[in-house]
Structure 1
Amino acid sequence: MRQFTLILLALYCMGRGNAQTANPEQYKYTFTVAQDGSGDYTRIQDAINAMRGYPLAPITLYIKNGIYKEKIELPANNTDVTFIGQDVDRTIITFDDYAGKGTIRTFTSYTAKISGNRFVAENITFENSAGPVGQALALYVDADKTLFRNCRFLGNQDTIFNGGETARQYFVNCYIEGTTDFIFGPATAVYNNCIIKAKANSYITAASTSRGKKYGLVFIKCRIITGPEVSRLFLGRPWRAYAKTVYLSCEMPAAIAPEGWNNWNNPENEKTACYGEYKSYGAGANPVNRASWAKKITVAEAGQYTPDVIFASCNPDLAGERTWYKNSPAVFKWPGGR
């Protein structure tokens, strides 16, 4: 009797497995969201909820222009998802939570939380509209191999949380603005050719890089800008002792504090944090007066701060492992040409 039961269980499991993986064409892989009712859904979260977890093929979500006031979350089981907005200035996801609003805390104040690996976003604005009220995330991303291209991130304190201690994240041709620690977290995150606007006398970054990691926050060929009210701005301060942040070939405004870096009122951080610059230029480039504990990056070391090197993996044979951040820009294609 026991043997018969085991046979039935095995057959059930085989059937269940086939049901999960067979006939991939039965699942939907393209979704559309439009507030005017011309898409599959009018809300982004409704489209996310309709997606198959661990899909059998990549999923694309096209988002028509509009201001989508909603708090969205892409869970970890929603992998291989791409969001494509129609126009970066007019496809806006916005919400107004902030730490201290009811039971909201820093890490639940996000407008968008992205946890599904291999996520891509293009032509979208992520905004936290709470104003200067404390911690208020526009983006919480703890997924691995995430790519944000031609996106805007609008907020004040804590605009982008680069979460995930082992996550790799790539921001290219993006615009980010904020006030205090507005790019922060433990991930390995590369910002390439981005515009970064500081709106207050404060700190751009607050890395919390894990001990032993080679790379933390890396800025390549970025342009740092400020509003007229900013006169003393720091490149970063260590949220955790082993914070790592470097700027390479970045334009520095006059408002950058001569010392560049802050130890967060703890001299012990100077022994463990790794902060540095290479070929900074502009009115705020001041290598002579930078903090004595900041790293002076050599030409040879600068060659190790490229996306190819930074994102190199111990699993080079995985599909797309060496190319995920090189994907060509997608084109907004609304079904039916609408």
Structure 2
Amino acid sequence: MASRVVTVAQDGSGDFTTVQEAVDAVPLCNTCRTVIRVPPGVYRQPVYVPKTKNLITLAGLRPEDTILTWNNTSANIDHHQASRVIGTGTFGCGTVIVEGEDFIAENVTFENSSPEGSGQAVAIRVTADRCAFYNCRFLGWQDTLYLHYGKQYLKDCYIEGSVDFIFGNSTALLEHCHIHCKSAGFITAQSRKSSQESTGYVFLRCVITGNGGTSYMYLGRPWGPFGRVVFAYTYMDHCIRHVGWNNWGKAENERSACFYEYRCFGPGSCPSKRVTWSRELIDEEADQFLMHCFIDPDPERPWLCQRMALSIPYSALEL
């Protein structure tokens, strides 16, 4: 299928001057992928990709050079869309909000520039199925990356924050990603509501780093009673607390939350000291989480093959 390519340039030399203008120009209910090339620059404007605009790719050259940034918080939202469209509170405060399916971003930084202590301040909310992020950065403090709904794949990405900075109820595989813990808090707050839901977050061959301090970060806490998170083959530095996981002040969550680790390593990986209600998986249990089929389950209709010039899927077990 042919793609349409457009360029954003703030100096007026491209097809559009803002990312939002390029998104707005995508036809409603489009069936052809539109690649929006975003040259180096700092783009200070919230971006909204509505449900009616699918198959959009945002493509930068280097994530350090192409930065989409804004400073909304759950308590203070300044947006070009009405609250009835984007929502309110944490749900509506994302610098970028993606609701169109089959969205791809490559080599782009998504930032919420609100300072520490601002409360919930989302860099991106993804409420869309079959979305992929390659070599992207997600910068913020609390609630940086809102993987709210759908299936997402993140590869070679950098995600930083403090409190619940990867959260929501999507089905997400984060592969070869760098997770950086800026201050005390919780990496994940996955919100699976029942044992029947197939949602959850898998961190495969990732690296977790901290600010130089020791034992100040939990791997996660259950936002929903059945929150499900897996860390596999992941390096954990001294910032991770030995107990690993937190029950969010509700003892009953310990009976339903599914918090797993598999063959992790580093000074923050302490299986013998973890809370008793988390588990180290055995090989047979781990298999379902170590392959792309966790997020791409239908071999007849694979969706992880949309990236420009790269054919996916391939086995996530291959180095």
TM-score by length of 1: 0.84
- Whichever residue aligns with residue 180 of structure 1, its letter is V
Measure the CA separation in 1 of the matches of 2:209 and 2:250. Answer: 28
- The corresponding residue for 1:294 is 278
Measure the CA separation in 2 of the matches of 1:31 and 1:93. Answer: 17
Is 1:52 aligned to residue 27 of structure 2? Answer: yes
Contact 1:201–1:233 (Cα < 8 Å) also in 2: yes
Measure the CA separation in 2 of the matches of 1:31 and 1:131. Answer: 33
Deviations 1:147-199 (CA, angstroms, capped at 9, x unpaired): 000000000000011111xx110000000000100000000011100000011
Deviating more after overlay: 211-220 vs 113-122: 211-220
- Whichever residue aligns with residue 49 of structure 1, its letter is D
Residue number among 176, 182, 185 corresponding to 1:193 in the alignment: 176
Contact 1:221–1:249 (Cα < 8 Å) also in 2: yes
Measure the CA separation in 1 of the matches of 2:145 and 2:72. Answer: 14
Contact 1:199–1:229 (Cα < 8 Å) also in 2: no
Contact 2:40–2:60 (Cα < 8 Å) also in 1: yes
Trace 1:72-87 onto structure 2 (pairs within 5 A). Answer: 72-87=47-62
Residue number among 156, 162, 179 corresponding to 2:141 in the alignment: 156
- The corresponding residue for 2:253 is 269
Deviations 1:281-307 (CA, angstroms, capped at 9, x unpaired): 001110001110002211111111134
SS in 2 for 1:202: strand
* Larger fraction in helix: 1
- The corresponding residue for 1:175 is 158
- The corresponding residue for 1:224 is 208
Is 1:303 aligned to residue 278 of structure 2? Answer: no
Measure the CA separation in 1 of the matches of 2:19 and 2:198. Answer: 36
- The corresponding residue for 1:71 is 46
CA drift at 1:309: 2.6
Tell me: CA distance 1:93–1:119, structure 2 relative to 1, closer, same or farther (3 Å): same
Deviating more after overlay: 45-54 vs 177-186: 45-54
Deviating more after overlay: 138-147 vs 211-220: 211-220
Contact 1:158–1:182 (Cα < 8 Å) also in 2: yes
Measure the CA separation in 2 of the matches of 1:249 and 1:270. Answer: 24
SS in 1 for 2:236: coil
Deviating more after overlay: 102-111 vs 242-251: 102-111
Tell me: CA distance 1:83–1:295, structure 2 relative to 1, closer, same or farther (3 Å): same
Contact 1:148–1:170 (Cα < 8 Å) also in 2: yes
State the Cα RMSD in Å: 1.9
Deviations 1:303-338 (CA, angstroms, capped at 9, x unpaired): 11134330244x654xxx32x22445559xxxxxxx
- Whichever residue aligns with residue 289 of structure 1, its letter is K
Trace 1:201-216 onto structure 2 (pairs within 5 A). Answer: 201-211=184-194, 212-216=196-200
Structure 1: tracts of 5 or more residues without a match: 1-23, 332-338
TM-score by length of 2: 0.89
Measure the CA separation in 2 of the matches of 1:66 and 1:102. Answer: 23
- The corresponding residue for 1:125 is 109
Aligned pair count reads: 299
Structure 1 segments, 4+ long, off by >3 Å, are 326-331
Identity of aligned residues (%): 36
Is 1:140 aligned to residue 115 of structure 2? Answer: no
* Larger fraction in strand: 2
Measure the CA separation in 2 of the matches of 1:236 and 1:102. Answer: 27
Contact 2:6–2:36 (Cα < 8 Å) also in 1: yes
CA drift at 1:277: 0.2
- Whichever residue aligns with residue 4 of structure 2, its letter is Y
Residue number among 242, 252, 260 corresponding to 2:244 in the alignment: 260
Contact 2:132–2:152 (Cα < 8 Å) also in 1: yes
Measure the CA separation in 1 of the matches of 2:294 and 2:247. Answer: 25
Measure the CA separation in 2 of the matches of 1:58 and 1:237. Answer: 37
CA drift at 1:102: 5.9
